[in-house]
Homo-oligomer: A and B are copies of this chain.
Amino acid sequence: VSEHLTIGQAAEAAGVTPRTLRYWEQLGLLPPSHRSSGGSRRYGPDDLARVERVRQLQELLGHDLQQIADVLHAEDRLSELRAAWFAGDDRETAEEIARRERLLGEAVAINDAVRAQVDARRRALDAFAAELEEKAERYRAEARRLRAARRRAAAPTAS
């Protein structure tokens, strides 16, 4: 009754296979936060959120796993820094502040780049949707012609 899921449950919840989670772990992308006493992987809520992030970057933006690792790594360094912050380790020397600003700047740059890619994808999808709508309209016109032809064929006496 824990919050931690087995690999099968986590895979099911995230829409991937156990093999995928093991492969991502092998690449250092997704080390499960716990193991059972017998050695089975256990995935917590944070792990599931990470799976979701990887899926978005991979499926929606077409990144390869190395690029995804770079994005997640930068975010990880920023959360480590935040953790140290909350732990009271916030001596505010000029050097420490500069270090934080540098890490934050990295994360902001990556976030902006990803947002730009999302916008580009949306524009591409909009253009694709417009093409498909045009095609659908041509199909509707063709269906009307066929229905008219069917009426003519059914009532040839009207010629």
Among the listed B94, B133, B153, which residue makes an inter-chain contact with A150, where contact means beta carbons less than 8 Å apart?
B94
Number of residues of chain A lying within 8 A (CB) of chain B: 39
Is there contact, CB below 8 Å, between A114 and B100? Answer: no
Asked if A111 lies at the interface with its beta carbon under 8 angstroms from chain B, I say yes
Give complex CA distance A156, B142 in Å: 78
Give complex CA distance A60, B62 in Å: 9
Instruction: Give the Cβ gap from A112 to chain B, nearest Cβ, in Å.
Output: 8
Interfacial residues of chain A within 104-151, with CB under 8 A of chain B in the complex: 104, 107-108, 111-112, 114-115, 118-119, 121-122, 124-126, 128-129, 132-133, 135-136, 139, 142-143, 146, 149-150
Is there contact, CB below 8 Å, between B152 and A92? Answer: yes
Majority-rule SS of A interface residues: helix
Is there contact, CB below 8 Å, between A111 and B97? Answer: no
Asked if A1 lies at the interface with its beta carbon under 8 angstroms from chain B, I say no
Closest chain B residue to A142 by CB distance? B104
What residues on B are CB-neighbors of A122 within 8 Å? 122, 125-126, 129
Closest chain B residue to A128 by CB distance? B56
What residues on B are CB-neighbors of A87 within 8 Å? none
Q: Answer whether A136 and B152 are a contact pair too, CB < 8 Å, given A118-B125, A122-B129.
A: no
